[in-house]
Amino acid sequence: MMQASNDKSETLGYTEFMKIITTTAELAEACRTIADHPYVTVDTEFLRESTFWPELCLLQLACPSDAYIVDVLAKGIELTPFFELMANHGVVKVFHAARQDIEIIYNLGGLIPHPVFDTQVAAMVCGYGDSISYDQLVFRIANQHIDKSSRFTDWKRRPLTEKQLDYALADVTHLRQVYQSIKANLEEQGRTHWVAEEMEILTSRETYDLPPGDAWQRLKLRVRKPREFALLQKLAEWREQTARSSNVPRGRVIKDEAIYEICGHPPKTMNDLAELRGLSRGFDRNRYGNDLLAVVKAAMEMPKQDLPSLPPQRQAPEGTGAATEMLKVLLKVIVEQHGVAAKVIATVDDLERIAADDEADVPALKGWRRELFGEMALKLKNGGLALGYNRKAVMIIELGDDQKRQAAE
């Protein structure tokens, strides 16, 4: 049965007509209403402390006219209407820090919402700093305080409290104003296409579907020999497959540090396992012990010609350190001039690669980033620009042909 509340929340400071959905029919009706609007704000409440896959507990939706809380744990409710809404290309799906929410939708519904607008990413483009939190953004744009005390409550427990419902509702109702404000800001500055490029990455299936065989890429490469690397790959793949099939966090199967220790001291017997400090007590006697020894044995018996090559360790060429430092200063100037978060333009690794190679395959030398920063970075590196200081700020100075020749000499 659909319930309605229009109580005023003193904490949130607004009046909102909230509809709590507990049946598939109610959800379908709500999604039909939302589909008549150009956008919907979306958020989820979930638990993941003891599982590999996030456990969806609550779903929040808001369009310009209505706000809904969907009790996904209600008996008999199916989320098919919601997934159909997420697949509707005529409705923009607005999230804040969307990756985990999209991961849930992808895992449960087998689809990635499209089109998507992530206000956290867009805020970085608009000068709100690196990875600004939702409550900070709401305060800066809507001048509203959000009570975060319900953030880590048990979202599986029923009934939900009024405080939990208020918190959940705020995650999508204030997001409407945030979205409209940032969208207008982007249009005014001509930066809408900047965010569109970022959304292509966020809506790529590869972002959410890393094959178990590539799970080693999550780990630091602390191995020096091809056989150690093969063992690292096989352990990471086994852990990923085991965690997924058992629906437990990766660290519950085996922690990263234990993988590194095993690569350095491969165990052959249960007694060897028991002596490894990185493994939890009793690991040699639990259900994973025999499987782990089998993985180690397979890696140690691989023919030498089948061993994987170690990924090349990239080192900055000699003499590029100074160029990297100049590029850092240039990036700071660009950030201050254009009000864009440094993180969204270039990382330190990007700068080091640009310092070493004019054709470096980095985001900073592509698309809008190249227009904003990349071209000037190459000019600075190759003597076409200079940096100066006028006692107040660092200046970017375009050099003439004579000055370029003098600099080259």
At the second CATH level, the architecture of 321-408 is Orthogonal Bundle (1.10)
Other beta carbons within 10 Å of 409: 5
| C-alpha span between 113 and 89 (Å, rounded) | 8
CATH fold of 212-306, please? DNA polymerase; domain 1 (1.10.150)
150: helix, coil or strand? coil
Tens digits of residue pLDDT in 83-100: 999 999 999 999 999 999
At the second CATH level, the architecture of 3-207 is 2-Layer Sandwich (3.30)
Provide CATH 1.10.150.80 ranges for the chain. Answer: 212-306
Tens digits of residue pLDDT in 240-269: 999 999 999 999 999 999 999 999 999 999
pLDDT at 210: 86
Q: Hey, what long-range contacts does 371-380 have (CB within 8 A, 24 or more apart)?
A: 372/334, 372/338, 372/340, 372/345, 373/330, 373/331, 373/334, 373/345, 373/346, 376/330, 376/334, 377/327, 377/330, 377/331, 377/346, 377/351, 378/354, 380/326, 380/327, 380/330
Provide CATH 3.30.420.10 ranges for the chain. Answer: 3-207
Tens digits of residue pLDDT in 182-201: 999 999 999 999 999 889 88
Lowest mean pLDDT among 60-64, 138-142, 318-322: 318-322
The verdict on pTM exceeding 0.75 is yes
